[in-house]
Amino acid sequence: MSQTVRTRPEGSTQALSEAYDTALLDLDGVVVYAGGNAIAHAVESLGTARAGGMHLAYVTNNALRTPDAVADHLTELGIPTGPSDVITSAQAVARLISEQVPAGARVLVIGGEGLRVALRERGLEPVDSAEDDPAAVVQGYGGPELPWGRFAEASYAIARGVPWFASNTDLTIPSARGIAPGNGAAVEVVRIATGAEPQVAGKPLPPMHRETILRTGAERPLVVGDRLDTDIEGAFNGEVDSLLVLTGVTDGEQLLAAPPQHRPTYVDADLRGLLTGQPEVVEAGDGFRCGGWTATAGTERLELAGEGEAMDGLRALCAAAWKAAGDGSCELDGGKALVRLGL
């Protein structure tokens, strides 16, 4: 991946929706919708991208809901979606399990309906007890009502040597009321009880990326997300380009400090970034220029000069910070520059 943020395909002024055939869009509460409501500019931006020929696929680490349920929700929000356009970590982990256990094997499920549907799709039989002689244990987000006793069932089976799988290990999950414990927190409960380590399928690991490519047939995919450690790292691991949008958990300071595996190819405020080519980031003397801004790396802090669009200033700062950091994390203070941009 490039050391500097790239704001349009090389040698082209194409919109991102024209330069890539498929957008792999994060669905974990902050890119397309949050708390049941669409994020600002999401519906119209996605509609325009789709009308221009871009295939839209929705990728979620949340293993609770089925693709049908997610597709219905998106359609209700004004984003026409079919179940085949939704890829979940439940599907990715079910494929991973199916490759390691006999056809028709029983799998102890610690989670919700999404996991059960995905297992049946792969010809496996979901069961509820460690006494059902499972060939594997799978753990996925089961919602706030998941009984504590489910963790005990997983622990009993794993202690007997049954292989353990997890859909994902996100420690938190966004909800309408705020940030709640995610599947990763539940996985830690079982890890502490057993001392075992699960095989994990979800973002940012390769099984999830493989699942999205197999199901979408994408040849030039663009990963779109808000989290550096799942969406962007997943794109890095899959060796594909990515667009970070600032409608979720990542802020300017985190972005500037990002190590190579967390550096997006593109950055924008929201999903309108799919529809533009955006100004180039170019070297300018000792720094980098984007739009009306020039950023340089000083001895202690990042410096920003000029004026213009805030996103252009952020792109220039990213280029300067990442060049200064090399293969590490940037430790220069970018706070003053970010305040100037209102970020």
Catalytic machinery residues: 26, 28
List, in sequence order, every beta strand (DSSP E) within 29-134.
33-34, 37-38, 55-60, 86-88, 106-110, 125-127
Task: For residues 187 and 208, give the distance between their C-alpha atoms in angstroms, rounded to a whole number.
Answer: 18
Q: Is it true that the peptide bond before 221 is cis, omega within 30 degrees of 0? A: no
Residue 316 in contact with residue 282, Cβ under 8 Å? no
Task: For residues 100 and 110, give the distance between their C-alpha atoms in angstroms, rounded to a whole number.
Answer: 19
DSSP code of 126? E
Residue 86 in contact with residue 71, Cβ under 8 Å? yes
Residue 111: closest CA among 51, 151, 67: 151
Residue 73: closest CA among 90, 61, 86, 89: 86
Burial of 327 (0-12, 13-18, 19+ CB in 10 A): exposed
